[in-house]
Amino acid sequence: EVQLVESGGGLVQPGGSQRLSCAASGFTFSHYWMHWVRQGPGKGLVWVSRINSDGANAVYADSVKGRFTISRDNAKNTLDLQMNSLRDEDTAVYFCVGGWNYKFDLWGQGTLVTVSS
């Protein structure tokens, strides 16, 4: 069974940092591009970042560029997102997503990050 399980969400103050993790199982993790997609409360989906299959290349949405860093460990089948300088507008459920050929095939259940003082 394919599983993507996110962890690391919680309450963080504006300007603070948070690290999200995603544990993958049930598929060949190292073959997939991996993404983070977020969804603010009552809002739509927003693509955040992508890392390629070997971890050598990462891209980011303009809204998080310079603040967020995506990384992966293919030996441990894990994906991470380091989030710094967090803002109120970063409050969202963050989904870990596996993608093949420019689409989002495999989704985790998400982890909620709340940025508030």
Partner 1 sequence: QSDLTQPPSVSGSPGQSITISCTGTSSDVGKYDLVSWYQQHPGKAPKLIIYEVNKRPSGASNRFSGSKYANTASLTISGLQTEDEADYYCCSYAISDSWVFGGGTKLTVL
If binding is defined by CB under 8 A, does position 23 make contact with partner 1? no
If binding is defined by CB under 8 A, does position 107 make contact with partner 1? yes
Residue span binding partner 1 (CB under 8 A) among the ranges 9-17, 24-32, 37-45, 72-80:
37-45
Tokens 């709340």 -> residue: 114
Q: Is 91 helix (H, G, I), strand (E, B) or coil?
A: coil
Q: Could you say which of 1, 41, 62, 66 contacts partner 1 (CB under 8 A)? A: 62
Total number of residues binding partner 1 (CB under 8 A)? 21
Torsion angle of alpha carbons 15, 46, 21, 98, nearest 10°?
-160
